[in-house]
Amino acid sequence: MNPDSEHIEITITSRFENIELVQVIAEHICECAGLDDDGSHWVGMAVREGVANAIKHGNRLDTRKRVFTTFDVKDARLAIHIRDEGEGFDPANVADPLSPINIMKTSGRGIFYMKTFMDEVDFSFPDSRGTELVMRKNLAAHDDAATQD
């Protein structure tokens, strides 16, 4: 794989057992692009959460619906797009998991983890065709930070 520029796509059906497939690809791409093991793990974790949301909240476990994921690496910047075929949801409705009234809730931490481990996390709703999640990570910046530690 050319670490300078790469585009990879994977389409899965809405089954939880497929999440790990996308996660492993994410981690492999990060490792090939020079991210360390921990950094690659956390990007994989963010991808896991994004795909799980697409399956559960986007496609509502409908196995006829798919989740489309693309990975683009260019100039040490990683962009990940995850799109479902559901009705869309408003991420603004997701409560702050750090709020004292929410801290003991059993759900609602997935987007928080994505935002923690990635540089940018955005949601859009392209032409009412489900929800598209875009996550970005500056792989070079992570390397610099690791070196300074």
Partner 1 sequence: MKTTSRNVDGVEILALQGKITIGSGDVQLRDLISQCLNDGKNNILLDMSGVSTIDSSGIGELVGSFTTVTNRGGRLKLLHLPGKVSDLLQVTQLITVFEVHEDEAAAVASFK
Which residues of this chain interact with partner 1, rule CB under 8 A? Answer: 16-17, 19, 41, 45, 48-49, 52, 56, 97-98, 103-110, 112-113, 116
Look-up of token digits 């690809």:
25
Locate 126 and state its tokens.
């392209």
CA distance 58 to 87: 6
Alpha-helical segments (H) within 54-138: 110-117
Is 37 or 120 the residue whose CB approaches partner 1 more closely? 37
In contact, 22 and 43? CB cutoff 8 Å: no
Nearest distance, CB of residue 147 and partner 1, angstroms: 20
Is 76 or 94 the residue whose CB approaches partner 1 more closely? 94
Nearest distance, CB of residue 4 and partner 1, angstroms: 29
CA distance 61 to 10: 18
Is 73 or 118 the residue whose CB approaches partner 1 more closely? 118
Answer positive or negative: Cα dihedral of 31, 77, 65, 52.
positive
Is 92 or 98 the residue whose CB approaches partner 1 more closely? 98
Nearest distance, CB of residue 20 and partner 1, angstroms: 8
Nearest distance, CB of residue 121 and partner 1, angstroms: 14
